[in-house]
A and B are shown apart, each in its own frame.
Chain A
């Protein structure tokens, strides 16, 4: 088949669409759902800019097809903030200058979202390993690591 009907929940909202089967998940989010917060850098699984959360796990949305997420729950960068209130990870990136141009940021945020849930109190080297699949050309990663540590702290404080 060349087309497939899918039903997918993105950031809590359910969408029903018919997609061409070769449409990547990233293109589906950006072009069909107008969720352009997910960025596309390399489109072959190297840069990590398109990282989103599918059924609770961080994955590269350029390496999946929209046809594969029928029935899945997705979280993209648009789903992080609570209305006007930024998510603690976003807040920490803002506070610690974890971005300059911002192109890679959605990928970092979604990667860290999953990582900090699994490892709420990481060491610096664990953070560096966790974000090793995301490329940033501006910051030199220093402030991203600082932001990740700060985010871990405020998420722990919020949880207790």
Chain B
């Protein structure tokens, strides 16, 4: 058998899950969709003493509208988010990123929370949540706490979720009026992890001046890179090629990617800039379209 031996638990409630986490400590691994964890088990890269399967825990999935926010349960399948009309309407940046995650068989099992907690440095969802300034809701024995996206992604495959805590949901701000979005990435093949991916939002006022924007880049470091300096090149101006190019230059200058088998650091820096320019142009066009 490929996976190493482990004890398997299928808790029927969040409380039971937290009890198991407390009992097994850092020997335990939570199993959500399993699309990253099971390959790691099959390679024996991880050898948890206890595998705690969340698939039978009620109340962890579903998409809910809250005032100004969209709340997505951690165990919501990626495919459900991809198919959701509410997500397309309220959170179009997320909707655009969804089909770029893996393949349909992966998204049928893979969950929103699983991907966020796994925090692969080239994954799409962390960049989306970082760009939108989302909130991660985590539950532990002491109760619930909310972590801002900026504090959630700590480093390579590492988040601020403690060993005895469970991510229960992510909250994302809904897109305001006159807003545009874009998620663009470059990968070797469709469905592969991004070599570089860029998530942006652009919001305009009634006269077409940019009032706020956000840029987050994935695949260029241990965690998504939020490019505040580049955003400053755009805010207060009418979106135009010169501003996009200046923002792209700043993103490129800010990035400190590593070279690996798939792409060199120089390539990633360059592509990060190019994709930023394209994404800002597309998002601005969409924002202008939404204003009409």
Q: Do A and B come from one complex?
A: yes
Contact A22 B5 (CB under 8 A): yes
CB of A11 closer than 8 Å to a CB of B: no
* Segment at the interface with A among B38-46, B153-161, B204-212: B38-46
B9 neighbours in A (Cβ, 8 Å) = 1
Closest to B33 in A: A63
Contact A43 B105 (CB under 8 A): no
Closest to B108 in A: A57
CB proximity to B under 8 Å, residues A97-122: 111, 114-115
Please, what's the 1-or-0 string for B78-99, where 1 marks a CB less than 8 Å from any CB in chain A? 0100000000000000000001
Total A-B residue pairs with C-beta atoms closer than 8 Å?
Answer: 85
- Count class of interface residues, chain B: 20 to 34
Given A4-B8, A22-B1, do A60 and B109 touch, yes or no (CB 8 Å)? yes
Contacting A45 at CB < 8 Å: which of B1, B2, B38?
B38
CB of B189 closer than 8 Å to a CB of A: yes
CB proximity to B under 8 Å, residues A16-57: 20-24, 27, 43-45, 48, 51, 57
A1 neighbours in B (Cβ, 8 Å) = 7-9
Contacting A2 at CB < 8 Å: which of B4, B5, B102?
B5
Contacting A21 at CB < 8 Å: which of B7, B38, B55, B103?
B7
B105 neighbours in A (Cβ, 8 Å) = 48, 51, 58-60, 111, 133
Closest to B79 in A: A57
CA distance A109 to B57 in the complex (A): 32
CA distance A51 to B103 in the complex (A): 12
Shortest Cβ distance from A158 into chain B, in angstroms? Answer: 23
* Segment at the interface with B among A64-72, A78-86, A144-152: A64-72
Contacting B43 at CB < 8 Å: which of A2, A44, A58, A132?
A44
Closest to B2 in A: A43
Shortest Cβ distance from B23 into chain A, in angstroms? Answer: 14
In the complex, 29 of the A-B residue pairs with CB atoms within 8 angstroms, ordered by the A residue number, are: A1-B9, A2-B5, A2-B8, A20-B1, A21-B8, A22-B4, A22-B8, A23-B1, A24-B1, A24-B3, A27-B1, A43-B42, A57-B108, A58-B104, A59-B105, A60-B35, A62-B38, A63-B35, A63-B38, A63-B109, A64-B34, A65-B8, A67-B8, A111-B104, A129-B99, A132-B189, A132-B191, A133-B104, A133-B191
